[in-house]
A and B are shown apart, each in its own frame.
Chain A
Amino acid sequence: MLQTAARKGKRSTAKAAPQKSITRAASHERFLEAFRWMLLARTLEEKLVSLYRGGQITGGVYIGKGQEGVSVACGMFLQKGDVFAPLIRDQAGRSAFGEPLVDVARTYLGSVKGPMRGRDGNIHRGRPRDGQLAMISHLGAMVSVAVGALMAKRWRGEKNFVGLTTVGEGGMQAGAFHEGMNIAAVEQVPLVIVATNNHYAYSTPNDREFACSDLIERAVGYGFEGYRIDGTDLATCLDVIGGAVRRARAGRPPQLVVAEVLRLSGHGEHDDASYVTEEIKREPFARDCLKVAEKVIVDLHLIDGETLQSWRDEAAAKVEEAITTAQKEPGPDGGAENWCAISTRELVDPAE
């Protein structure tokens, strides 16, 4: 499963991983904790999709279905004082890092009480001072921002911190991503980049996205340590991404993990993903990581069916509570808005 960047690999049509045991680093407890975050993310996003289809969410809905295993591993090993720069398919990781569900509900529903107060929506949310950077839509742009945040922490004498940012194979082709990855290595900041190859940049398949034989080879070129994993296998995600976070925290060079999955949704919920071929849906990486993880739990008798059902019920109740809370709250009022894009009020331009 685990490949270092130095390994010459063929194009990554990864073989199905055997699901016999959970690797040592991922204890049963951790595996179950991760599974619960994944379950929560899936439940939340299914609810968001249903609200969107019912016309109750303005703008887009972007979900991480099929990527929860990778994402949760991104959030779970981070702690207070770390920096997390997630992208659009990282609900599981955001939750595991500590984002309250109500932040999500408020942002999607436009509540003034949310972190974005109706000024920005859906996945463009964050609490930058708490280490949750708020992504912009321009892919690759947040890599260097994470680098700067880590440099600031170093200058300010903080210890034992790490940063993690995510990207897709689509975003990996953006110029800003190249610059960000390079500058991370130049500055030798403790950064982990987790790239998920979900095989489509919106509708564009891998063969029109890049031409290197394996994206993980780029790690060497930038001075990163690199690992390629099957992103549908939660234990591997926890093991390898957790290991990358640990190594970065310990002062190793920046880390790149490339995870292979299939995006099990459209780019957004407006997109029926009709371009996803039947052939690719039969690939091993097309498995649903949540179902795979659940099978492991059942096969290994980690919890009984009753407990599993209670977890599902609990996730649904939490989601319901967050959504209901946000739905009761007012949206912003254009007439009452101060329309001021800078914090220094006396320097606001007097344009009409």
Chain B
Amino acid sequence: MSITYLGAIREAQAKLLRDDERVFIYGQDVGGTFGGAFKATKGLAKEFPGRVLNTPISEDAIVGTAIGAAIHGMRPIVEMQFADFSSLALNQILNNAGTHYWRTNVAVPITVRLPSGGTKGSGPFHSQSMESIYAHYPGLIVMTPATVEDAYTMLIQAVAIDDPVVYCEHKYLYYHLKADKLGNDGTPVGKARIAREGRDLTIVSYSAMAQESLLAAIELAREGFEIEVVDLRTVKPLDTDTVLASVARTGRLLAVGESFPWGGVTAEVIARVASAGFHLLDAAPARINAKDTPIPYHPNLWSTHRPNAKGIAERARKLLRE
């Protein structure tokens, strides 16, 4: 058996619909015979009649509807067609779902799937990584699976969680990643994973950049460096303990993310390590992000805008010399 990251997301949703009658899927083009812009819900409308529903192009109302249903006992999964369009639902996600438990003591168990991140030729409005925005606001859990196994397991866990979950699935990984099995190693939600062990430098990353970081680690291994790669898995909560423990072993930290450079997950990782583990560092911590421009359309520009294994390895080499 071989299943893709995208296939894992579809299988997780099929399982959720099968096992829990409270689950329904709500989003643009998810239903009918179409099954979503990326086919993450292909065939599910037929298999689960009335529970995989096409919606108008109304991101705000889609999430609002999910919130209302969740308050009254359902477990909605919202598919945003692209993470970028979730900007149109920010109000419902941040101000309604994110505040609801705190204000009313009633949790809102919605899962919002965000097809995230860059792919070749997708341009400024179909490439964004929004996890830092959602992580910044209180009341939300933000997942960023980097493997097929996690894509499957974490989506099932997301729906089981009583609080709102923003599930950032990476479009670049949809077809690039394959696995032989579904189901991960049992790492609990909220815990980071040591994706590769090393002793010379820690790279902290997540989602597609965790994969790029692993490639960089392989490249550096040929040069004799042992790079430890921490896959955050959820950026909120951010598993600071695992990161600190890794930096304690290596003394060097490089944080890698695909979103824009101002603030964000990489800044948060460095702030936490600098604050709680300054004494562990043998060199100033570094970070790599996308550039501070909109995401370009042309592959020649995009491949430079987006961090990649080569650039990560380069920055790591520099950090290893410091």
Contact = CB atoms under 8 A, between A and B. Distances in A.
Interface of A: 83, 115-117, 119-120, 124, 126-129, 133-134, 136, 138, 141-153, 155-156, 175-176, 179-180, 182-183, 186-187, 340-344, 346-352
A129 B106 CA distance: 8
Contacts of A146: 68
Contact of B190 (A119, A150, A175, A347): A347
A138 B64 CA distance: 12
19 contacts: A120-B103, A138-B91, A145-B68, A145-B71, A150-B68, A156-B74, A176-B61, A180-B60, A182-B58, A183-B62, A341-B138, A342-B107, A342-B141, A343-B101, A344-B107, A346-B190, A347-B161, A347-B163, A352-B275
B56 A179 contact: yes
B73 interface: yes
A334 to B, nearest CB: 14
Nearest to B92: A141
A129 B71 contact: yes
B237 interface: yes
Contacts of A138: 91, 95-96
Given A145-B71, A347-B190, A116 B163 contact: no
Interface string B106-145: 1100000000000000000000000000000011110000
Contacts of B103: 116, 119-120, 124, 134
Interface of B: 24, 55-56, 58-74, 76, 91-92, 95-96, 98-107, 138-141, 161-163, 189-190, 234, 236-238, 240-241, 268, 272, 275
- Top 8 closest A-B pairs, CB basis? A148-B68, A144-B64, A152-B72, A179-B61, A148-B65, A179-B58, A144-B61, A148-B69
B68 A127 contact: no
Contacts of B60: 141, 144, 175-176, 179-180
A128 to B, nearest CB: 5
Contacts of A187: 65
B68 A344 contact: no
Looking at B56, B64, B234, B238, which has the most chain A CB atoms within 10 Å of its CB?
B64
A118 B148 CA distance: 44
B71 A128 contact: yes
A145 B95 CA distance: 13
Given A144-B64, A341-B138, A349-B237, A134 B104 contact: yes
Given A120-B103, A346-B190, A151 B69 contact: yes
Given A350-B238, A352-B275, A344 B161 contact: yes
A176 B88 CA distance: 10
Contacts of A179: 56, 58-61, 64
Q: Which of A119, A143, A152 has the most CB of B within 10 A?
A: A152
